[in-house]
Amino acid sequence: MAGSRNRGNGNGSIKKSRSPAPQEEVHENIFVFIPNLIGYFRIVLAVASLYYMPLHPRTCCLLYSISCLLDALDGYAARLFEQSTRFGAVLDMVTDRCTTACLLVFLASAFPRWSILFQGLISLDLASHYMHMYATLSMGESGQSHKKIDQGRSWILNQYYSNNKVLFTFCLMNEMFFIALYLLSFSSPLLSPSLLQPSPQAPSSLQPGSPAAPKPSLLFTNPWSAGAMEMARASKLDSTVPWILAAVSFPVMFAKQIINVVQLVKASKWLAEGDVAERRRRRLAKSN
């Protein structure tokens, strides 16, 4: 019996079959991927720009602009090192939305008469991107990116997201317009009447934007007080370049807001289609 068990290949010797060696499971730390490290650095730069925003417009613009430009570098690094992740995509979008919202909050305080417009832009930007991301994750195929839009669903969004150069140009011009407005709040008496120096005979007035308002240094001796922005405005910047940047970038910024509206509407309809299909599956649909 033992001999019969040993005749595995007919010549009295056993031919042992070798099973493939199990591959060692690779444990990757997504949080230290190069694109995500760039994303963290963008956040640091954005926070630093917010710190300098009330007092140092030049430093703020430099830090904020570098943070925005790195938005293109992290995507390039993700493709180069094959480190595209859902976490990185969400991190990138959240960083963009938060930094833009913070800048718009400052503009709302710098131009109080237009605050409702800036508040509306913040709401539109956050709502459209959240709805779009949620619709893609819940209604799209497994692993589908929010940048992969079927042309049949939306031609505009397909053109907007499918070309990285187009996407970067729209985002860059959008930020450029708001940065230009930020600089104009420090340099243009046309937009900020309080930049006009009051005459010595003019009566004092505490009305916002009034040229007769007293110098901020007389009201706020602490440079970190609520009047710090007005104190910084006293050191004027030249408004020529900001006006040029605002004029050049305004059409693209306006077009991006239209895209945000389209994105919000399309995402809402996509979610509604899913709701209708789910109600039919559960036999909850009722004829109207």
Whether residue 197 is contained in a domain is answered as no
Q: Assess if residue 194 is contained within a domain.
A: no
CA atoms within 13 A on the CB side of 181: 20
Residue 283 maps to a domain: no
Given a cut of 90, whether residue 236 has pLDDT beyond it is: no
Predicted pLDDT at 202: 44
Residue 285 CB: number of other CB atoms within 10 A? Answer: 12
- Percentage of the chain with pLDDT > 70? 73
Q: Is the pLDDT of residue 38 over 70?
A: yes
Which tokens in the block code for residue 135? 């619709």
CA 244, CA 249: separation in Å to the nearest integer?
Answer: 9
CA quadruple 256, 257, 263, 266: dihedral positive or negative?
negative
Mean pLDDT for the stretch of residues 49-60: 89
Query: Per-residue pLDDT tens for 165-196?
Result: 898 899 999 999 999 999 999 888 788 776 66
95: CB partners within 8 A, 6+ apart: 39, 42, 43, 46, 67, 71
Question: Residue 94: inside a domain, yes or no?
Answer: yes
Residues in contact with 59: Cβ distance below 8 Å, sequence separation at least 6, in sequence order? 49, 52
User: Please, are residues 77 and 45 in contact by the beta-carbon 8 Å criterion?
Assistant: no
CATH number at residue 130: 1.20.120
Q: Verify whether residue 71 is a known catalytic residue.
A: no
Residue 270 inside a domain? The answer is: no
- For residue 64, pLDDT over 90 is answered with yes
Query: Global pTM?
Result: 0.76
| Domain ranges, residue 76 | 30-188+239-263
- Whether 229 maps to a domain, the answer reads no
The pair of three-digit structure tokens given for residue 61, joined into one six-digit string: 């613009």
CA-angle at 174, arms to 171 and 176, nearest 5°: 110
- Catalytic residue of the set 71, 96, 150, 275: 96
Judging by beta carbons within 10 Å of its beta carbon (0-12, 13-18, 19+), is residue 222 exposed, middle or buried? exposed
Instruction: Answer whether residue 288 shows pLDDT above 70.
Output: no
Q: Over the stretch 137-149, which tens digit does the pLDDT of each residue have?
A: 887 665 566 677 7
> Residues, the chain, total?
288
Q: Which of 112-121, 231-240, 255-264 has the lowest mean pLDDT?
A: 231-240
Residue 124 lies in a domain: yes
- Residue that wins the pLDDT comparison between 261 and 20: 261
Which H or E run includes 70?
A: helix 57-80
- The domain tally of the chain equals 1
